[in-house]
Amino acid sequence: MRRHEKLLTIGITAAATAALTVFIRNFISGEKKITHRIAQRYGISDPQFERAMSQLLGPPILSGNRVTPLHNGNEIFPAMLAAIAEAERSITFETFIYWSGEIADRFADALAVKARAGVKVHVLVDGVGCNCVNGDALRRMADAGVELEVYHIANFARTNERTHRKLLVIDGRLGFTGGVGIADNWDGNADSPEHWRDTQYRVEGPVVAQMQAAFLDNWMKTRAVVLHGEDYFPRLEDAGELRCQMFKSSPMEGSESARLMYLLSIAAAEKSIQVGNAYFLPDDLTTETLLEAVKRGVKVEVLLPGRQIDSQAVRLASRHRIGRLLKGGVRVFEYEPTMYHCKCMMIDGLWTSVGSANFDNRSFRINDEANLNVIDAEFTAEESRIFAKDLERAREFTYEDWQDRSVCEKLLGGSAALLRSQL
């Protein structure tokens, strides 16, 4: 069989698998998702936008916070490990990726030291995202007294639902969130294909209590224990000037909070939308909402991974999905030096959302996610500056490029897009 025939067979098989998946999921699920376009009734600067975000996403937007961006492993891991070393009462830590290697060992040792010193340490890792469930790193933590849980490792009915949240909270006072996993891939300074580009955020102020609550959401589902009191929820004084909100999204609650946040934010845009995301597969409604923004005169830029990506199937699916966006005026760029793993959105120079949520169906409807929203002009300006700096290391992918894809890429991209939208 010739190579192109093999590729075609693979594509057809993937499409058949996806069709079966669609049937099964639609048969067993009676939940509906938002299907009607969200009309623009106010802008980001309108107080009504802030009220909508506070009421529809759950936790209110709180003032008095400080958020410090940390770029790439050289800045991120030392800051997180230093915070762990300074913990006095409690550490709560939830992550999707925990891969064997030097970074995993450094975190395991740091957490074990604090547990032996009497600090209450609680760690939740995902059953699929962690490749060392039976490994030495987790065993050392457990032997030292760390309370360790693995999310949905034995729950077959929910095996497709993952915790994708990245949360570290120290003494209930200091938090970290973003897109970073605990693995050697994130080490370094995005200076080679082996060292990924990502950002984590160090958070202080009243919003840290919302981060703690997001962790406890899944801790209670796994450990079935409520953590409360001064060790976990101390009185938090103002630490800065930022207004922030940490919201969570989970299919177990029938919630589409991550998708709703993106839709409401895009619908409110009046000037600019900047999206940086590792896995960008917008559904039809999100695509329409972005195109409506362009028609209003909004400048929309999207930054994605290029050839350096951990899943070529995702890249094929993403390229397949963005044709209408490109034709409608959305500009798309592919980051070239290494895997681009950031998850950020900046709108109108005022609104920023960062955290764990990708721009795809897994994050919108299947995964447990948690994002930090910040409404502040200075903070958003800095995030936009970093976004522009990353664009300098990216290549624009145009509508003409999209049309010129090979026949095989088009076939495989369509199959991958259909499969990825359901899994």
Is 341 a catalytic site residue? yes
| Packed helices 47-57 and 257-268: angle between N→C axes, nearest 10 degrees | 170
Residues 184 and 103 sit within 8 Å (Cβ to Cβ): yes
Note if 343 is an active site residue. yes
Query: Which listed residue (171, 360, 368, 390) is catalytic?
Result: 171
Q: Which of 152, 198, 341, 360 is the catalytic position?
A: 341
The 8 Å CB, 24+ separation contacts for 33-37 are 33/256, 33/259, 33/365, 34/256, 34/259, 34/260, 34/263, 34/285, 35/285, 36/285, 37/285, 37/288, 37/289, 37/292
If you search the block for the tokens 């939830």, which residue do you land on? 94
- How far, in Å, CA of 254 to CA of 312, rounded? 31
Is position 6 annotated as part of the catalytic site?
A: no
166 is catalytic: yes
Active-site annotation holder among 120, 122, 166, 320: 166
Nearest-CA neighbor of 120 among 98, 139, 93, 95? 93
Q: Is 114 a catalytic residue?
A: no
Q: Which of 114, 120, 152, 343 is catalytic?
A: 343
Query: In this structure, what is the dihedral angle of CA atoms 386, 244, 124, 92, given to the nearest 10 degrees?
Result: 110
Greatest alpha-carbon pair distance for the chain in Å reads: 69
The active-site residue out of 348, 360, 376, 390 is 348
> Is 195 tagged catalytic?
no
Catalytic residue among 114, 164, 221, 248: 164
Cα 308 from Cα 129, distance rounded (Å): 20
- Interior CA angle at 7 toward 5 and 8, to 5°? 65
Active site residues: 164, 166, 171, 341, 343, 348
